[in-house]
Amino acid sequence: MAEDWESAGFGLYLHWPFCQAKCPYCDFNSHVAREIDESQWKRAYLSEIDRVAAETTGRELRSVFFGGGTPSLMSADLVGAIMDRIAARWRLSDDVEVTLEANPTSVEAGRFQGYAMAGVNRVSLGVQALNDGDLRRLGRLHSAAEARAAIDVARGVFSRVSFDLIYARQDQSLDAWRLELGSALALKPDHLSLYQLTIEEGTAFGDRAAAGRLSGMPDDDLGADMYALTQDLLELAGLPAYEVSNHAALGQASRHNLIYWRGGDWGGIGPGAHGRLTLEGKRWATETVTVPLEWLRKVGMHGSGESLREVLSADAVAVEAALMGLRLVEGIDADRFRRLSLGVFDMNIKYLVEAELMALVNGRLLVTKAGMPLLNSILGKLLDTQSPDRARSKSSS
For residue 116, is it within any domain?
A: yes
Q: pTM for the complete prediction? A: 0.93
pLDDT given at position 3: 55
pLDDT, tens only, 207-256: 888 899 999 999 999 999 999 999 999 999 999 999 999 999 999 999 99
Choose the final residue of a domain: 259, 276, 310. Answer: 259
Whether residues 113 and 235 share a domain: the answer is: yes
Q: Is the pLDDT of residue 278 over 50?
A: yes
For residue 60, is it within any domain?
A: yes
> Exposed, middle or buried, 189 (CB in 10 Å: 0-12/13-18/19+)?
buried
Full domain range(s) for residue 364: 334-396
Q: Is the pLDDT of residue 389 over 50?
A: no
For residue 136, is it within any domain?
A: yes
State the chain's mean pLDDT as an integer: 93
Q: Which of 73-87, 111-125, 138-152, 382-396 has the lowest mean pLDDT?
A: 382-396
Whether residues 250 and 361 share a domain: the answer is: no
For residue 81, is it within any domain?
A: yes
Whether residues 67 and 198 share a domain: the answer is: yes
SS3 state at 213:
coil
Q: What is the CA radius of gyration of the chain?
A: 22
Whether residues 99 and 229 share a domain: the answer is: yes
Query: What is the total count of domains within the chain?
Result: 2
C-alpha to C-alpha distance for 336 and 358, rounded to whole angstroms: 17
Whether residues 236 and 344 share a domain: the answer is: no
Choose the final residue of a domain: 259, 284, 303. Answer: 259
For residue 307, is it within any domain?
A: no
215: domain CATH number?
3.20.20.70
Whether residues 69 and 173 share a domain: the answer is: yes
For residue 309, is it within any domain?
A: no
Choose the final residue of a domain: 210, 241, 259. Answer: 259
pLDDT given at position 1: 46
For residue 318, is it within any domain?
A: no
pLDDT given at position 23: 86
Whether residues 167 and 64 share a domain: the answer is: yes
Vertex 370 angle, CA 369 and 375, to 5°:
85
For residue 90, is it within any domain?
A: yes
The DSSP bridge pattern shows strands 246-248 and 241-243 to be: antiparallel
